[in-house]
Structure 1
Amino acid sequence: MSQLVDTRRDSRWLALIVLCAGMLMIILDGTIVNVALPAIQADLEFSQPGLAWVVNAYLIPFGGLLLLAGRAGDLLGRKQMFLAGLVVFTLASLLCGLAGSQEMLIAARFVQGIGGAMAAAVILGMIVTMFPEKAEQSRAIGVFSFVAAAGGSIGLLAGGVLTQAISWHWIFFVNAPIGIAAFLFAVRLVPGERGIGLRHGADVLGALLGTSGLMLGVYTIVKAADYGWGSARTLIVGAVAVALLAAFVWRQARVANPLLPLRILASRNLAGANLIQVLMVAGMFGMFFLGALYLEKVLGYDPLQIGLGFLPVGVGIGALSLGASARLSGRFGERFVLVGALLLVLAGLALLTRAPVNASYVTDFLPSTVLMGVGAGLGFPAMMTLAMSGVTKDDSGLASGLVNTTQQVGGALGLAVLATLSTSRTNGLLAAGESPVEAMTSGFRLAFGVGAALVAVAVGLAVFVLRRPEPDEADEVAVPLRVQVEVS
């Protein structure tokens, strides 16, 4: 009997590796494209506004569909949703790599975003149900957090290597073997459970309102950098998005089987952790994007050097999120660890506000990447544990989708706001006669300062809103689950 238990326990960790491999493939795709954009532009003759849609066509459906995909996983079965998402994402990746026209690439990227949302939305919920014991759950979430957070910096390095060594097409082709392997191993290793059924939550109108509002909201954010935050177009489209989301909330409060039960937002930890994540990711995502531009346009780095420049972030996350974060959380509590981690990220961004034109990587950039790597490595596992605390089994897919949604919205918000502010400052200084390099550097410093301010607000929320989960609350999700294991 003990041998059977050990085998089951070991298979769970193998299943976790499979889930994280699928997540890594999806996360990598969010940043690996950025390094290859100049090559894509030259090959397919994109205009500058058109080139932005190579990123936006993926980001909009991915961020907009996460919440719906998470709830659909609760209703239909999370394993089934994950497998379907892998199939859609892998096939769309092949189409992206084969794309010989602008239209084909943008359409394939849109489908890629749909598949990414289907798979990513349910992964965290599956991890929570597979690891009901608190200590194991913290370690498992640490592994997931490492993959989710480090994937961005790894994508920058991989994009530079593949684009320079082969061609931009291979940043998409590389997904095919990963996706096929993840699918085959998931069928065999990942435990499956029956969904609660459509009769428990098939709110079609609510799904349309919520998904439309989220997608339109993400679209408004990513396009505000082009049209301006105060433009009539941004205000009108944004108002429509807000109206759709307000209608969604109104409906969720009144239907018997809501897509997003508002009771789930009554949890201070879930609501607070998701809001903190929006602010933290906004500051960090803006740093990745604008930091890469700083290294390229001011310091003259090539794509491979840019990827290597951000490597300390991934190393810091890997060194701490896989064990240290869980141990510290077990001793001091997730809230304490998260506050300390946010302060480290804040310090890293604050240092970048002093970045000079003739910078030395070792003295002017490396300390920030180390601080942010350590902060992210400690912070993301603690934040995700707090967000999932007190969530029941039936709502774990929904909560997982919500965590992923706020992460994507935070990234889109951070990129749009910080890039717009940076560009405005640069253009103003250029008009005043400042040299291009000085003007760009000043714009980047402003953006880093705003990112630091966002993280400072997150620190305040962590101190005054979050609370340490009570043992019975933390174990509510940790009740051993009676799942029907589907092993072929």
Structure 2
Amino acid sequence: MSQRRGNPWIVMVTLCIGFFMTILDTTIVNIAIPDILEDLDATISEVLWVMSAYILVVAVLVITAGRLGDIVGPRKVFIAGMILFTVASALCGAAMEPWQLIAARALQGIGAALITPQTLTILTGVFPPEKRGLPSAIWGITAGVAGLAGPTLGGLLVAEGNWRWVFYVNVPLGLVTIAMAVALIPDVRPDKRLRLDITGVVLASAALGAITYGLLEGDRYGWGTITSFLSIPVVIAAGLVLLVVFLATQARVNDPLMPLGIFKDRGFSLMSFVIVAVSFGMMGLSLTLTIYLQQVLGLSALQAGLTLAPTALAMMFSFPVVGFLIDKIGGKYVLICGLALYPVSLALIGNMARTDSGQWSLLGPLILAGISQAAAFAPTVTMAMQDVRTEFAGAASGAFNAIRQLGFLIAVAAMGAVLQSRLTSELHGEAERQAAQLPGEFREGFVDAVTSAGGSIDAGAGDVRLPAGASGQLAQQMREIAQSVFDQAFVGALRFTLLACAAVVVVACLLSFAAKRPDPAKAPTAEEELALM
């Protein structure tokens, strides 16, 4: 084993397993929500915090954790994070009360925050700049596949066991990764002695905490008042003000938590926007299709997860081809092709979605989405980190991951708002059109009832309160029409939302033309990189 210590490719495998686990736990829990509600007798609010606690803690701490790796060594921080994440996963699975599960999820989030930035930092340390292309691409693919695999793997675990296995599955994986990390990962800390900027930690944590909380809880409070004078806009605005103060202080300290110089690098800044844009596409697709497959097509959670699985599989299996193309034509042009094809796949899915579609009717565009995501993800990290100096690797990795995490949250909030707004509009128009089938005296009441029931994106005909006097055969007819209205309206809202996502990705595609192309003379081929083994 000692002969393999420091082997960059084995180190990369170890890091990617840990990174995969942290991303997987962002989405795998969603599929288990109904079972958690029933088994723990939890409220909707408590279950939402089971998901939110993890995301909130990761977003708040990831920048600090990145800099901490620069100071005490990324190997130590990665191992500490893996131990904490594994223990917290076991506690999540053993939880008997909602508050216990929420607390364990927050602890799991601390572990994930410690792990995530160290993965890029260590990769930057064990691979020289001219040989980082392939490992960085694998890192990016790992993030994409993990996010897409969550619903499918979660559905299988819940179907074959129970919701607790969504967390218990991390324990054996975590133990193996800890053993590999202790035995195989070298110490790659920079020679320069650094100090932790405590003021920066407080300001960054408060700023990211406020912004993340506002984005997570905005929909719950209707983007309005939380209590008394406190409202979601006030919380987000306070977070933005603190963020400005944080950035201002970073320009004046000797050892900043986040060196602002990293944003002067064109590649880092552009790729930060690209990763946010890709998050919009991924979340828009995941959000709309998860509801569409279950609410409109009537598939079970497991069936819906399996329907989406081809996207993750296509992404994974297309990677060797993407890697070959990066070697031949450069990461910039592979990225542009991926960002150009992804909107096409989103538009095709929106155009092909019907209320009577079969389970596999969207297979073609879902595979195209996976291939295009592979092409978009693979070069992004390489192009972001290629010119970052070693002593700034942890800070840059923390910043990049914080931007990715906030991009994910902004995408969830924005696409959820777009979908809800469009659904409300579509419901009213569709209800008026189909109300023509009803007796005249019931039409207006039916339209009002259907429109009022559309208060959430997962509402359905069962939420409609029929007009007074509707009973028997007429009531049954109204319910059938209401279901048709909801199905048609959601498909219309899905199309609009996916087109909005596609527009964001198109902007990223156009901006990517401004990215620098790495010097081909310095870029190794795939064979040369594999020769490092």
Q: Work out whether the TM-score is over 0.5.
A: yes
Q: Give the alignment of 1:274-313 within 5 angstroms.
A: 274-313=272-311
Specify which of 55, 61, 82 is matched with residue 78 of structure 2: 82
Residue 167 (1) aligns with residue 162 (2): yes
Corresponding residue of 2:134? 139
Corresponding residue of 1:483? none
Corresponding residue of 1:373? 370
Distance 1:41 1:228 in 2: 23
Distance 1:426 1:235 in 2: 23
Corresponding residue of 1:353? 350
Distance 2:188 2:125 in 1: 10
- Aligned AA for 2:490? M
Residues 342, 458 of structure 1: 8 Å contact kept: yes
Residues 209, 245 of structure 1: 8 Å contact kept: yes
Quote how far apart the aligned CAs of 1:426 are: 2.2
Quote how far apart the aligned CAs of 1:276 are: 1.1
Distance 2:367 2:493 in 1: 23
Residue 43 (1) aligns with residue 39 (2): yes
TM-score after normalising by structure 1: 0.90
Specify which of 80, 92, 100 is matched with residue 96 of structure 1: 92
Distance 2:93 2:5 in 1: 38
Q: Which moved more, 1:434-443 or 1:245-254?
A: 434-443
Corresponding residue of 1:235? 233
- SS of 1:310's partner is helix
- Aligned AA for 1:458? A
Figure out how many residues of one structure are paired with residues of the other and give that number. Answer: 465
Mark the CA change 1:275 to 1:11 in structure 2 (over 3 Å): closer, same or farther. same
Mark the CA change 1:95 to 1:145 in structure 2 (over 3 Å): closer, same or farther. same
- SS of 1:149's partner is helix
- SS of 1:200's partner is coil
Residue 122 (1) aligns with residue 118 (2): yes
Residues 6, 184 of structure 2: 8 Å contact kept: no
1:70-107: CA deviations, max 9, x gaps? 11111110001100111111111111111111111111
Specify which of 489, 498, 501 is matched with residue 439 of structure 1: 489
Quote how far apart the aligned CAs of 1:43 are: 1.6
- Aligned AA for 1:83? I
1:289-340: CA deviations, max 9, x gaps? 321111111111112212211122112221233x332321222121111110
- Aligned AA for 1:248? F
Distance 2:233 2:415 in 1: 18
1:201-249: CA deviations, max 9, x gaps? 4210011111221122111112222234476722101110001100000
Residues 325, 379 of structure 1: 8 Å contact kept: no
Residue 222 (1) aligns with residue 219 (2): no
Residues 149, 376 of structure 1: 8 Å contact kept: yes
Distance 1:457 1:219 in 2: 27
Distance 1:129 1:242 in 2: 33
Mark the CA change 1:95 to 1:9 in structure 2 (over 3 Å): closer, same or farther. closer
Corresponding residue of 2:408? 411
Corresponding residue of 2:198? 204
1:408-449: CA deviations, max 9, x gaps? 112111111111221232234445563122222222222212
Please, which runs of 5 or more residues in structure 2 have no aligned partner?
Answer: 432-484, 525-533
Residues 294, 441 of structure 1: 8 Å contact kept: yes
Distance 2:180 2:7 in 1: 11
Q: What is the Cα-based RMSD across aligned positions, in Å?
A: 2.1
Residue 384 (1) aligns with residue 381 (2): yes
Specify which of 467, 473, 476 is matched with residue 516 of structure 2: 467
Residues 78, 193 of structure 1: 8 Å contact kept: yes
Distance 2:335 2:41 in 1: 45
Residues 73, 122 of structure 1: 8 Å contact kept: yes
Distance 1:188 1:223 in 2: 42
TM-score after normalising by structure 2: 0.83
Quote how far apart the aligned CAs of 1:374 are: 0.5
Residues 74, 196 of structure 1: 8 Å contact kept: no
Distance 1:117 1:196 in 2: 24
Corresponding residue of 1:482? none
Q: Give the alignment of 1:316-327 within 5 angstroms.
A: 316-321=314-319, 323-327=320-324
Residue 158 (1) aligns with residue 159 (2): no
Distance 1:239 1:41 in 2: 33
Residues 341, 375 of structure 1: 8 Å contact kept: yes
